[in-house]
Structure 1
Amino acid sequence: MIETVRLMAWLSPGYPVGAYAYSHGLEWAVECGDVANEESLTDWLGDVLERGALRNDLILAAHAHWAAIEGDAPGLAAINDLAVALAPTRELHLETTQQGRSFLDATRAAWGVPELDRLSEALPGAVAYPVAVGLSAGAHRMALPPVLAGFGLAFLQNLVSAALRCAPIGQSAGTRVIAALTPHVAALAATIPGSSLEDIGSATLRLDLGSARHETQYSRIFRS
Protein backbone atom coordinates (compact mmCIF):
# COMPACT_ATOMS: atom_id res chain seq x y z
CA MET A 1 0.00 0.00 0.00
CA ILE A 2 2.77 2.46 0.89
CA GLU A 3 4.31 2.01 -2.57
CA THR A 4 1.02 2.93 -4.24
CA VAL A 5 0.59 6.03 -2.09
CA ARG A 6 4.20 7.06 -2.71
CA LEU A 7 3.79 6.65 -6.46
CA MET A 8 0.58 8.72 -6.40
CA ALA A 9 2.45 11.48 -4.59
CA TRP A 10 5.38 11.41 -7.02
CA LEU A 11 3.15 11.61 -10.09
CA SER A 12 0.54 14.02 -8.77
CA PRO A 13 0.11 17.52 -10.28
CA GLY A 14 1.32 18.93 -6.95
CA TYR A 15 4.78 17.35 -7.18
CA PRO A 16 7.30 20.18 -7.78
CA VAL A 17 8.45 19.37 -11.31
CA GLY A 18 6.73 22.21 -13.17
CA ALA A 19 4.74 19.94 -15.50
CA TYR A 20 1.98 22.56 -15.77
CA ALA A 21 4.33 24.79 -17.79
CA TYR A 22 4.65 22.37 -20.72
CA SER A 23 2.24 21.26 -23.45
CA HIS A 24 4.54 18.95 -25.46
CA GLY A 25 3.71 20.76 -28.68
CA LEU A 26 -0.04 20.80 -28.05
CA GLU A 27 -0.20 24.59 -27.99
CA TRP A 28 1.18 24.73 -31.52
CA ALA A 29 -1.24 21.99 -32.64
CA VAL A 30 -4.10 24.16 -31.40
CA GLU A 31 -2.66 27.26 -33.05
CA CYS A 32 -2.43 25.61 -36.47
CA GLY A 33 -5.82 23.87 -36.21
CA ASP A 34 -4.67 20.26 -35.81
CA VAL A 35 -6.50 20.15 -32.47
CA ALA A 36 -9.82 21.95 -32.58
CA ASN A 37 -12.28 19.83 -30.59
CA GLU A 38 -12.64 16.75 -28.39
CA GLU A 39 -12.33 14.30 -31.28
CA SER A 40 -9.17 15.80 -32.73
CA LEU A 41 -7.62 16.08 -29.26
CA THR A 42 -8.28 12.40 -28.63
CA ASP A 43 -6.69 11.46 -31.96
CA TRP A 44 -3.69 13.73 -31.39
CA LEU A 45 -3.05 12.42 -27.90
CA GLY A 46 -3.52 8.82 -29.04
CA ASP A 47 -0.71 9.27 -31.55
CA VAL A 48 1.57 10.86 -28.95
CA LEU A 49 0.89 8.02 -26.53
CA GLU A 50 1.32 5.07 -28.87
CA ARG A 51 3.59 6.40 -31.64
CA GLY A 52 5.48 9.19 -29.94
CA ALA A 53 7.17 10.29 -26.76
CA LEU A 54 5.23 8.30 -24.18
CA ARG A 55 6.19 4.90 -25.58
CA ASN A 56 9.83 5.93 -25.68
CA ASP A 57 9.66 7.41 -22.19
CA LEU A 58 8.19 4.21 -20.78
CA ILE A 59 10.97 2.14 -22.33
CA LEU A 60 13.58 4.50 -20.91
CA ALA A 61 11.93 4.49 -17.47
CA ALA A 62 11.88 0.69 -17.46
CA HIS A 63 15.57 0.43 -18.32
CA ALA A 64 16.47 3.06 -15.72
CA HIS A 65 14.48 1.05 -13.19
CA TRP A 66 16.34 -2.14 -14.09
CA ALA A 67 19.70 -0.35 -13.88
CA ALA A 68 18.79 0.94 -10.42
CA ILE A 69 17.75 -2.53 -9.27
CA GLU A 70 21.12 -3.86 -10.44
CA GLY A 71 23.01 -0.93 -8.97
CA ASP A 72 24.49 -0.25 -12.42
CA ALA A 73 25.60 3.38 -12.33
CA PRO A 74 27.45 3.36 -15.69
CA GLY A 75 24.46 1.70 -17.37
CA LEU A 76 22.14 4.28 -15.85
CA ALA A 77 24.32 7.10 -17.16
CA ALA A 78 24.27 5.59 -20.66
CA ILE A 79 20.48 5.30 -20.60
CA ASN A 80 20.18 8.91 -19.52
CA ASP A 81 22.58 10.08 -22.24
CA LEU A 82 20.37 8.36 -24.80
CA ALA A 83 17.18 9.80 -23.32
CA VAL A 84 18.50 13.36 -23.36
CA ALA A 85 19.84 12.97 -26.91
CA LEU A 86 16.44 11.78 -28.16
CA ALA A 87 14.78 15.16 -27.52
CA PRO A 88 14.20 16.48 -31.07
CA THR A 89 13.91 20.21 -30.27
CA ARG A 90 15.22 22.72 -27.78
CA GLU A 91 11.85 23.02 -26.06
CA LEU A 92 11.29 19.28 -25.72
CA HIS A 93 14.83 18.95 -24.38
CA LEU A 94 13.98 21.59 -21.77
CA GLU A 95 10.70 19.86 -20.98
CA THR A 96 12.28 16.53 -20.11
CA THR A 97 15.48 17.79 -18.46
CA GLN A 98 13.91 20.48 -16.30
CA GLN A 99 11.28 18.07 -15.00
CA GLY A 100 13.85 15.30 -14.62
CA ARG A 101 16.24 17.36 -12.52
CA SER A 102 13.39 18.80 -10.45
CA PHE A 103 11.93 15.34 -9.84
CA LEU A 104 15.24 13.81 -8.83
CA ASP A 105 16.17 16.66 -6.49
CA ALA A 106 12.73 16.73 -4.84
CA THR A 107 12.65 12.96 -4.40
CA ARG A 108 16.13 12.80 -2.91
CA ALA A 109 15.20 15.57 -0.49
CA ALA A 110 11.91 14.05 0.65
CA TRP A 111 12.26 10.32 -0.05
CA GLY A 112 15.99 9.88 -0.08
CA VAL A 113 17.53 6.44 0.35
CA PRO A 114 21.24 5.59 0.19
CA GLU A 115 20.99 3.77 -3.15
CA LEU A 116 19.21 6.70 -4.78
CA ASP A 117 21.86 9.08 -3.53
CA ARG A 118 24.66 6.81 -4.75
CA LEU A 119 23.24 6.27 -8.22
CA SER A 120 22.32 9.94 -8.61
CA GLU A 121 26.03 10.72 -8.56
CA ALA A 122 26.18 9.19 -12.05
CA LEU A 123 23.80 11.94 -13.28
CA PRO A 124 25.50 15.24 -12.40
CA GLY A 125 24.11 17.16 -15.39
CA ALA A 126 20.89 17.04 -17.39
CA VAL A 127 18.51 14.27 -16.36
CA ALA A 128 15.61 13.07 -18.53
CA TYR A 129 12.30 12.90 -16.69
CA PRO A 130 11.54 9.20 -17.35
CA VAL A 131 15.05 8.27 -16.23
CA ALA A 132 14.61 10.20 -12.99
CA VAL A 133 11.31 8.43 -12.29
CA GLY A 134 12.64 4.98 -13.22
CA LEU A 135 15.77 5.47 -11.13
CA SER A 136 13.84 6.65 -8.09
CA ALA A 137 11.35 3.80 -8.32
CA GLY A 138 14.11 1.22 -8.75
CA ALA A 139 16.14 2.60 -5.85
CA HIS A 140 13.02 2.25 -3.70
CA ARG A 141 12.51 -1.31 -5.02
CA MET A 142 9.06 -0.42 -6.32
CA ALA A 143 7.35 -2.86 -8.70
CA LEU A 144 7.76 -1.80 -12.32
CA PRO A 145 4.25 -2.35 -13.83
CA PRO A 146 2.40 0.21 -11.66
CA VAL A 147 5.23 2.70 -12.16
CA LEU A 148 4.88 2.47 -15.93
CA ALA A 149 1.08 2.67 -15.84
CA GLY A 150 1.16 5.57 -13.39
CA PHE A 151 3.75 7.48 -15.41
CA GLY A 152 1.68 7.00 -18.56
CA LEU A 153 -1.52 8.19 -16.94
CA ALA A 154 0.22 11.24 -15.44
CA PHE A 155 1.60 12.10 -18.90
CA LEU A 156 -1.89 11.89 -20.39
CA GLN A 157 -3.52 13.89 -17.60
CA ASN A 158 -0.96 16.67 -17.88
CA LEU A 159 -1.57 17.07 -21.60
CA VAL A 160 -5.33 17.10 -21.10
CA SER A 161 -4.83 19.77 -18.43
CA ALA A 162 -2.85 21.77 -20.99
CA ALA A 163 -5.65 21.31 -23.50
CA LEU A 164 -8.18 22.76 -21.06
CA ARG A 165 -6.08 25.94 -21.01
CA CYS A 166 -5.35 26.34 -24.70
CA ALA A 167 -7.87 24.28 -26.71
CA PRO A 168 -11.61 24.85 -27.21
CA ILE A 169 -12.71 22.04 -24.90
CA GLY A 170 -14.18 22.04 -21.42
CA GLN A 171 -13.64 19.94 -18.33
CA SER A 172 -16.32 17.39 -19.20
CA ALA A 173 -14.74 16.81 -22.61
CA GLY A 174 -11.31 16.54 -21.01
CA THR A 175 -12.60 13.91 -18.61
CA ARG A 176 -14.04 11.91 -21.51
CA VAL A 177 -10.72 12.09 -23.34
CA ILE A 178 -8.91 10.69 -20.30
CA ALA A 179 -11.51 7.94 -19.95
CA ALA A 180 -11.18 7.03 -23.63
CA LEU A 181 -7.39 6.87 -23.61
CA THR A 182 -6.72 5.31 -20.20
CA PRO A 183 -7.15 1.76 -21.57
CA HIS A 184 -4.60 2.60 -24.27
CA VAL A 185 -2.14 3.76 -21.62
CA ALA A 186 -2.60 0.57 -19.62
CA ALA A 187 -2.22 -1.62 -22.70
CA LEU A 188 0.90 0.24 -23.81
CA ALA A 189 2.48 0.03 -20.36
CA ALA A 190 1.92 -3.73 -20.33
CA THR A 191 4.02 -4.16 -23.50
CA ILE A 192 7.06 -2.29 -22.17
CA PRO A 193 8.79 -4.86 -19.93
CA GLY A 194 9.70 -6.92 -23.01
CA SER A 195 11.12 -3.94 -24.91
CA SER A 196 14.80 -3.22 -25.51
CA LEU A 197 16.41 0.16 -26.10
CA GLU A 198 16.55 -0.81 -29.78
CA ASP A 199 12.73 -0.70 -29.81
CA ILE A 200 12.76 3.06 -29.23
CA GLY A 201 11.39 5.08 -32.13
CA SER A 202 8.60 7.48 -32.98
CA ALA A 203 6.43 8.56 -35.89
CA THR A 204 5.16 11.99 -34.81
CA LEU A 205 7.11 14.16 -37.23
CA ARG A 206 4.44 16.86 -37.36
CA LEU A 207 4.60 17.23 -33.58
CA ASP A 208 8.40 17.51 -33.71
CA LEU A 209 8.27 20.16 -36.42
CA GLY A 210 5.49 21.94 -34.58
CA SER A 211 7.60 22.01 -31.45
CA ALA A 212 10.35 23.79 -33.37
CA ARG A 213 7.81 26.29 -34.69
CA HIS A 214 6.44 26.84 -31.20
CA GLU A 215 9.79 28.38 -30.26
CA THR A 216 8.87 31.44 -32.33
CA GLN A 217 5.08 31.31 -31.96
CA TYR A 218 3.83 34.87 -31.43
CA SER A 219 1.39 34.23 -28.58
CA ARG A 220 1.87 31.33 -26.19
CA ILE A 221 1.37 30.35 -22.55
CA PHE A 222 3.49 27.17 -22.39
CA ARG A 223 7.24 26.57 -22.54
CA SER A 224 6.85 23.75 -25.09
Structure 2
Amino acid sequence: MTPAPSDPASLLQLIWLASPALPVGGFAYSEGLESAVELAGVSSESAAADWLDDQLHLGLARGDLAVLAQAIAAWRAADHARIAALNDWVLQTRESAEFLLQTQQMGRSFVEWLKLHHEDAADVFGALPASYPVAFAFAVARTSASVRDGCLAFAFGWAENMTGAAVKAVPLGQGAGQRILARLAAVIPAAVEHAMGLSDDERQAFTPMLAVLSSRHETQYSRLFRS
Protein backbone atom coordinates (compact mmCIF):
# COMPACT_ATOMS: atom_id res chain seq x y z
CA MET A 1 0.00 0.00 0.00
CA THR A 2 1.39 3.41 -0.99
CA PRO A 3 1.58 5.83 1.96
CA ALA A 4 -0.55 8.95 1.73
CA PRO A 5 1.48 11.95 0.57
CA SER A 6 2.55 14.37 3.30
CA ASP A 7 1.15 17.89 3.38
CA PRO A 8 3.88 20.05 1.74
CA ALA A 9 3.89 22.63 4.52
CA SER A 10 4.22 19.97 7.21
CA LEU A 11 6.93 18.17 5.25
CA LEU A 12 8.95 21.36 4.94
CA GLN A 13 8.46 22.05 8.66
CA LEU A 14 9.81 18.61 9.54
CA ILE A 15 12.82 19.11 7.26
CA TRP A 16 13.42 22.43 9.02
CA LEU A 17 13.10 20.89 12.48
CA ALA A 18 15.55 18.10 11.59
CA SER A 19 18.13 20.41 10.04
CA PRO A 20 21.54 20.62 11.73
CA ALA A 21 21.31 24.35 10.93
CA LEU A 22 18.57 24.77 13.55
CA PRO A 23 20.20 26.84 16.34
CA VAL A 24 19.89 24.29 19.16
CA GLY A 25 23.52 23.17 19.39
CA GLY A 26 23.24 19.52 18.41
CA PHE A 27 26.54 19.73 16.53
CA ALA A 28 28.38 20.30 19.84
CA TYR A 29 27.65 16.82 21.22
CA SER A 30 29.00 13.38 20.35
CA GLU A 31 26.92 11.49 22.96
CA GLY A 32 29.87 9.43 24.13
CA LEU A 33 31.24 8.72 20.66
CA GLU A 34 34.34 10.83 21.24
CA SER A 35 35.17 8.71 24.30
CA ALA A 36 34.46 5.56 22.31
CA VAL A 37 37.02 6.68 19.73
CA GLU A 38 39.70 7.08 22.41
CA LEU A 39 38.76 4.27 24.80
CA ALA A 40 36.64 1.66 23.01
CA GLY A 41 38.35 1.11 19.68
CA VAL A 42 35.96 3.02 17.45
CA SER A 43 38.66 3.90 14.95
CA SER A 44 37.24 3.09 11.52
CA GLU A 45 34.21 3.67 9.33
CA SER A 46 32.78 0.23 10.03
CA ALA A 47 33.30 0.53 13.78
CA ALA A 48 31.65 3.97 13.86
CA ALA A 49 28.72 2.71 11.78
CA ASP A 50 28.24 -0.28 14.07
CA TRP A 51 28.44 1.94 17.14
CA LEU A 52 25.81 4.38 15.87
CA ASP A 53 23.54 1.57 14.66
CA ASP A 54 23.63 0.07 18.16
CA GLN A 55 23.07 3.46 19.78
CA LEU A 56 20.03 4.04 17.59
CA HIS A 57 18.36 0.74 18.45
CA LEU A 58 19.50 0.24 22.05
CA GLY A 59 19.36 3.86 23.17
CA LEU A 60 17.43 6.33 21.07
CA ALA A 61 14.60 4.02 19.99
CA ARG A 62 13.95 2.73 23.49
CA GLY A 63 14.12 6.16 25.14
CA ASP A 64 13.86 9.54 23.45
CA LEU A 65 12.03 8.33 20.34
CA ALA A 66 9.43 6.58 22.48
CA VAL A 67 9.01 9.74 24.58
CA LEU A 68 8.71 11.83 21.43
CA ALA A 69 5.93 9.67 20.00
CA GLN A 70 3.98 9.83 23.25
CA ALA A 71 4.62 13.56 23.74
CA ILE A 72 3.34 14.51 20.28
CA ALA A 73 0.03 12.85 21.09
CA ALA A 74 -0.03 14.49 24.54
CA TRP A 75 0.60 17.97 23.13
CA ARG A 76 -2.22 17.51 20.62
CA ALA A 77 -4.54 16.41 23.42
CA ALA A 78 -3.40 19.31 25.64
CA ASP A 79 -2.60 16.73 28.32
CA HIS A 80 -0.15 18.82 30.32
CA ALA A 81 0.11 16.35 33.19
CA ARG A 82 1.23 13.70 30.72
CA ILE A 83 3.71 16.08 29.11
CA ALA A 84 5.21 16.96 32.50
CA ALA A 85 5.52 13.27 33.40
CA LEU A 86 7.28 12.46 30.13
CA ASN A 87 9.60 15.42 30.55
CA ASP A 88 10.46 14.35 34.10
CA TRP A 89 11.23 10.85 32.86
CA VAL A 90 13.75 12.18 30.34
CA LEU A 91 15.50 14.37 32.91
CA GLN A 92 15.54 11.69 35.60
CA THR A 93 16.91 8.92 33.40
CA ARG A 94 19.94 10.70 31.98
CA GLU A 95 22.87 8.53 33.05
CA SER A 96 25.60 11.16 33.18
CA ALA A 97 25.97 14.86 33.86
CA GLU A 98 26.86 15.46 30.21
CA PHE A 99 23.76 13.71 28.90
CA LEU A 100 21.59 15.75 31.26
CA LEU A 101 23.31 18.95 30.20
CA GLN A 102 22.71 18.12 26.55
CA THR A 103 18.96 17.56 26.76
CA GLN A 104 18.52 20.61 29.01
CA GLN A 105 20.58 22.93 26.83
CA MET A 106 19.08 21.73 23.55
CA GLY A 107 15.60 21.85 25.05
CA ARG A 108 16.14 25.39 26.31
CA SER A 109 17.54 26.53 22.96
CA PHE A 110 14.68 24.85 21.10
CA VAL A 111 12.14 26.67 23.28
CA GLU A 112 13.83 30.00 22.48
CA TRP A 113 13.50 29.14 18.78
CA LEU A 114 9.85 28.15 19.31
CA LYS A 115 9.10 31.57 20.81
CA LEU A 116 9.93 33.13 17.46
CA HIS A 117 7.28 31.03 15.70
CA HIS A 118 4.57 30.27 18.28
CA GLU A 119 3.09 33.11 20.32
CA ASP A 120 2.04 30.84 23.18
CA ALA A 121 5.38 29.05 23.56
CA ALA A 122 6.59 31.38 26.32
CA ASP A 123 3.47 30.68 28.40
CA VAL A 124 3.44 26.95 27.66
CA PHE A 125 7.06 26.43 28.64
CA GLY A 126 7.19 29.05 31.39
CA ALA A 127 7.16 26.53 34.22
CA LEU A 128 8.46 23.55 32.27
CA PRO A 129 12.25 23.09 31.96
CA ALA A 130 11.73 21.26 28.69
CA SER A 131 13.95 18.40 27.61
CA TYR A 132 14.84 18.31 23.92
CA PRO A 133 12.44 15.53 22.81
CA VAL A 134 9.50 17.14 24.63
CA ALA A 135 10.23 20.55 23.07
CA PHE A 136 10.62 18.93 19.64
CA ALA A 137 7.29 17.15 20.13
CA PHE A 138 5.58 20.50 20.70
CA ALA A 139 6.77 21.73 17.30
CA VAL A 140 5.68 18.55 15.53
CA ALA A 141 2.28 18.67 17.23
CA ARG A 142 1.67 22.11 15.69
CA THR A 143 1.91 20.63 12.19
CA SER A 144 -0.38 18.15 10.46
CA ALA A 145 2.46 15.62 10.26
CA SER A 146 1.88 12.14 11.59
CA VAL A 147 3.57 10.95 14.77
CA ARG A 148 5.60 8.54 12.66
CA ASP A 149 6.89 11.28 10.37
CA GLY A 150 7.75 13.45 13.35
CA CYS A 151 9.79 10.61 14.83
CA LEU A 152 11.51 9.96 11.49
CA ALA A 153 12.54 13.61 11.30
CA PHE A 154 13.89 13.58 14.86
CA ALA A 155 15.84 10.38 14.25
CA PHE A 156 17.32 11.62 10.99
CA GLY A 157 18.39 14.88 12.63
CA TRP A 158 20.13 12.81 15.31
CA ALA A 159 21.79 10.67 12.61
CA GLU A 160 23.12 13.74 10.79
CA ASN A 161 24.60 15.21 13.96
CA MET A 162 26.15 11.92 15.05
CA THR A 163 27.58 11.23 11.59
CA GLY A 164 29.12 14.68 11.65
CA ALA A 165 30.62 13.89 15.06
CA ALA A 166 32.07 10.63 13.71
CA VAL A 167 33.62 12.37 10.72
CA LYS A 168 35.39 14.81 13.05
CA ALA A 169 36.31 12.50 15.92
CA VAL A 170 37.47 9.25 14.28
CA PRO A 171 38.30 11.07 11.89
CA LEU A 172 36.68 10.03 8.61
CA GLY A 173 36.28 11.42 5.11
CA GLN A 174 33.07 12.88 3.78
CA GLY A 175 32.40 9.79 1.65
CA ALA A 176 32.61 7.58 4.72
CA GLY A 177 30.23 9.92 6.51
CA GLN A 178 27.69 9.63 3.71
CA ARG A 179 27.91 5.83 3.77
CA ILE A 180 27.28 5.82 7.53
CA LEU A 181 24.34 8.18 7.11
CA ALA A 182 22.90 5.96 4.38
CA ARG A 183 23.18 2.92 6.66
CA LEU A 184 21.41 4.75 9.48
CA ALA A 185 18.69 6.06 7.16
CA ALA A 186 17.97 2.49 6.07
CA VAL A 187 17.34 1.29 9.64
CA ILE A 188 15.69 4.36 11.14
CA PRO A 189 12.14 3.38 10.00
CA ALA A 190 12.33 0.08 11.91
CA ALA A 191 13.67 1.89 14.99
CA VAL A 192 10.79 4.36 14.81
CA GLU A 193 8.20 1.60 14.48
CA HIS A 194 9.67 -0.10 17.54
CA ALA A 195 9.67 3.15 19.53
CA MET A 196 6.06 3.91 18.66
CA GLY A 197 4.96 0.52 19.97
CA LEU A 198 6.52 0.88 23.43
CA SER A 199 4.38 1.41 26.51
CA ASP A 200 5.50 3.36 29.56
CA ASP A 201 6.61 0.13 31.23
CA GLU A 202 8.67 -0.87 28.19
CA ARG A 203 10.35 2.49 27.65
CA GLN A 204 13.86 2.55 29.11
CA ALA A 205 17.17 4.34 29.29
CA PHE A 206 19.75 1.67 30.06
CA THR A 207 23.00 1.81 28.14
CA PRO A 208 25.63 1.16 30.82
CA MET A 209 28.71 1.13 28.60
CA LEU A 210 27.64 4.42 27.02
CA ALA A 211 27.06 5.90 30.49
CA VAL A 212 30.58 4.88 31.56
CA LEU A 213 32.13 6.40 28.45
CA SER A 214 30.10 9.58 28.91
CA SER A 215 31.30 9.89 32.50
CA ARG A 216 34.90 9.36 31.43
CA HIS A 217 34.48 11.99 28.72
CA GLU A 218 33.97 14.61 31.44
CA THR A 219 37.69 14.37 32.26
CA GLN A 220 39.01 13.32 28.85
CA TYR A 221 42.30 15.07 28.15
CA SER A 222 41.50 16.38 24.67
CA ARG A 223 37.93 17.01 23.54
CA LEU A 224 36.14 18.44 20.52
CA PHE A 225 32.62 17.91 21.87
CA ARG A 226 30.61 18.70 25.00
CA SER A 227 29.56 15.05 25.44
Which position in structure 2 is the counterpart of 1:77? 84
Indicate the RMSD between aligned Cα atoms, in angstroms. 1.6
Q: How does 1:1-224 map to 2 (within 5 A)?
A: 1-109=8-116, 111-114=117-120, 116=121, 118-123=123-128, 125=129, 127-224=130-227
Q: Distance in 2 between matches of 1:100 and 1:174?
A: 26
Q: Distance in 2 between matches of 1:171 and 1:40?
A: 16
Q: Distance in 2 between matches of 1:5 and 1:55?
A: 27
Please report the TM-score for the alignment, with normalisation by the length of structure 2. 0.91
CA distances 1:155-213 after superposition (whole Å, capped 9, x unpaired): 11111101111113211011111111212111111233322122112453211100000
Please report the TM-score for the alignment, with normalisation by the length of structure 1. 0.92
Q: Distance in 1 between matches of 2:59 and 2:87?
A: 18
Q: Distance in 2 between matches of 1:73 and 1:201?
A: 22
Structure 1 181/173 Cα, relative in aligned 2: closer, same or farther at 3 Å? same
Q: Counting helix residues as a fraction of each chain, which structure ranks higher?
A: 1
Contact kept in structure 2, 1:107 and 1:136, CA below 8 Å: yes
SS of residue matched to 1:55:
coil
In structure 2, give the amino acid aligned to 1:28: S
SS of residue matched to 1:46:
helix
CA distances 1:96-122 after superposition (whole Å, capped 9, x unpaired): 11101111220221x2054x5553245
The number of residues matched between the two structures is 220
In structure 1, give the amino acid aligned to 2:19: S
Unaligned runs of 5+ in 2: 1-7
Structure 1 161/54 Cα, relative in aligned 2: closer, same or farther at 3 Å? farther
Question: How far does residue 53 in structure 1 lie from its aligned partner after superposition?
Answer: 3.1
Which position in structure 1 is the counterpart of 2:4? none
